[in-house]
Amino acid sequence: MYLKSIEVHGFKSFAHKLKFDFHNGITGIVGPNGSGKSNVADAVRWVLGEQRIKQLRGGTMQDVIFSGTENRKPLSYASVAITLDNSDHQLPIDYEEVTVARKLYRSGESEYLINGGTCRLKDVNELFYDTGIGKEGYSIIGQGQIDKILSGKPEERRELFDEAAGIVKFKRRKNTSVKKLEEERQNLLRVNDILAELE
Ligand code: ATP
């Protein structure tokens, strides 16, 4: 699996619709300070479902929408789409190529799409569990992140190893089941209380 392209429109400094095509191998993005290199990495983080605006170097989520320049009016929405080659079927979906897209309007309305079909953020997260690509993955290592990992709490480091070992989806499923079991236990308690009152 590899990243084939990133398409941005209205995301941060990218007012025009722009497509970056990548090929298998190493690609470097170079440019003067402030030209938007980090915005490319931010676009990937964002489309993968990043909700923490600090990680995207903004104040509110609307800050990812192109805010205008002297010569160009602000835009009303930001959209990013990434396309991954999935010919090795590392992503659990029956397509050779997977496109994940996210769109956000100034009104706050937003949507996620997988191969053109609307989906939930949860679906995007689940698609990337245990691949290292998800928003909690290790495929995007930002400035200072290595230091943060090394000096972080053991539990936080453990999360990275879980992702690499491919057990995150099982842990999530276990947590959901444990939560449901607890709800059922509470329901049973209530039923027993009612029965006791009736006797
Ligand atoms: P450096 O080499 O200094 O790290 P860089 O090439 O990584 O710089 P970025 O940090 O990606 O640059 O881009 C910063 C630019 O993006 C700034 O000029 C900033 O004004 C612009 N920018 C960020 N958000 C928006 C937005 N919502 N609308 C318009 N421009 C934006």
pLDDT for residue 161: 86
Which residue lies with its CA nearest to atom 24 of ligand 1? 12
Write out pLDDT tens, residues 77-106.
Answer: 999 999 999 999 999 999 999 999 999 999
pLDDT for residue 165: 86
194 has pLDDT over 80:
yes
Q: Closest Cα partner for 20 from 82, 96, 85, 95?
A: 82
Q: Quick one: pLDDT band at residue 188, thresholds 50, 70, 90?
A: very high
Which residue lies with its CA nearest to atom 8 of ligand 1? 34
Distance 136 CA to ligand 1 centre (A): 23
Distance 115 CA to ligand 1 centre (A): 29
Query: According to the annotation, is 32 in a ligand binding site?
Result: yes
pLDDT for residue 124: 95
pLDDT for residue 146: 84
Which protein residues are within 6 Å of ligand 1, measured from CB? 12-13, 31, 33-39, 63, 65-67
Write out pLDDT tens, residues 118-156.
Answer: 999 999 999 998 888 876 677 888 777 788 888 889 988
Length in residues, the chain: 199
For 29, counting Cβ atoms within 10 Å of its Cβ (0-12 exposed, 13-18 middle, 19+ buried), the class is: exposed
Query: According to the annotation, is 33 in a ligand binding site?
Result: yes
pLDDT for residue 34: 92
pLDDT for residue 107: 95
pLDDT for residue 150: 87
Q: Which residues neighbour 92 within 8 Å (Cβ) at sequence distance 6 or greater?
A: 127
Q: Answer for the pair 143, 42: CB distance below 8 angstroms, yes or no.
A: no
CA dist 47 and 56 (Å) reads: 11
Write out pLDDT tens, residues 20-65.
Answer: 999 878 999 999 999 999 999 999 999 999 998 988 889 999 999 9
Where does residue 115 fall: left (phi above 0), alpha (psi -120 to 50 degrees), or beta otherwise? left
pLDDT for residue 132: 83
